[in-house]
Amino acid sequence: MSLLPKIGIEIPCSCLALNTPMTIGTSLFTLDFKGGIKVRVEINPNEPLNSVRLRVVGHKISAELPADDSSTESPQPRSATVQPRSATGTPRPTTITIEQQDVDLDLKSVLRLTSKFPPRFEQLMVLSFTMTIENPEAVLRKAGIQMTVPSEPLVLSTKNPVQLVSKLTKFPPKGDMYKLMNPMELVLPDNPDTTIVKIDSFPISVGESKS
């Protein structure tokens, strides 16, 4: 019996990345990302017996920068004054959403069986995505970034595909940690040479979801 998942099935997983350090311009924020990813198992013609390709068919995680956060853990503590306010004067949080950018055509994500006894796997995920920052005005101002229309959502895209890797004893994963292999750099689509957001560490755990 093959230890690899069956070709054609779709596997939803939950994702949780706590205490993620994210640099916007010159400011450092610490965020908790939550969400999920779904992959479809497909044949890997280059190594069909010991590996499968994983097509990403859904990927969305988000985090919120609270409107009133007095935490001192970050080198630059956040406060209510960082956030814009609604018409009623209520502080509005800044929501940051990472979402699959387009249809996964390249199929560079792979699950490889490295040992049968005991079972061991290595999973490589290669992801391209957009990052949307809602209510970005005050955050961008604090970060020293000038935008033409700072009140509108800021939509960035990955400068290069992001690679995450994990060594597993079973698949689907059960809350396993994945390591970021290259820094996440996010840029404006019309100015890919200037990095707006950078994430050097992304401590994300992934586990199979029943939904």
For residue 78, the model assigns a pLDDT of 35
Which stretches in the chain have pLDDT values below 70? 1, 66-91, 148-150, 211
For residue 84, the model assigns a pLDDT of 47
Residue written as tokens 């009133």?
A: 68
User: Quick check: is 151 in a domain?
Assistant: yes
Q: Which residues of 127-149 are buried (b: 16+ CB within 10 A; e: fewer)?
A: bbbbbbbbbbbbbbbbbebeeee
User: Quick check: is 28 in a domain?
Assistant: yes
For residue 148, the model assigns a pLDDT of 66
Query: CA–CA separation, 31 vs 180, rounded Å?
Result: 16
User: Quick check: is 2 in a domain?
Assistant: no
When computed from its CA atoms, the radius of gyration of the chain, rounded to whole angstroms, is 19
For residue 102, the model assigns a pLDDT of 79
For residue 141, the model assigns a pLDDT of 79
Query: CA–CA separation, 67 vs 41, rounded Å?
Result: 41
Residue range 108-163, pLDDT digits in tens: 999 999 999 999 999 999 999 999 999 888 788 777 777 766 678 999 999 999 99
Q: Which three-class secondary structure state does DSSP give residue 147? A: coil
User: Quick check: is 52 in a domain?
Assistant: yes
User: Quick check: is 122 in a domain?
Assistant: yes
Structure tokens at 114: 């490295």
Tell me how many domains the chain contains. 1
Which residues span the domain enclosing 127?
Answer: 10-64+89-208
User: Quick check: is 84 in a domain?
Assistant: no
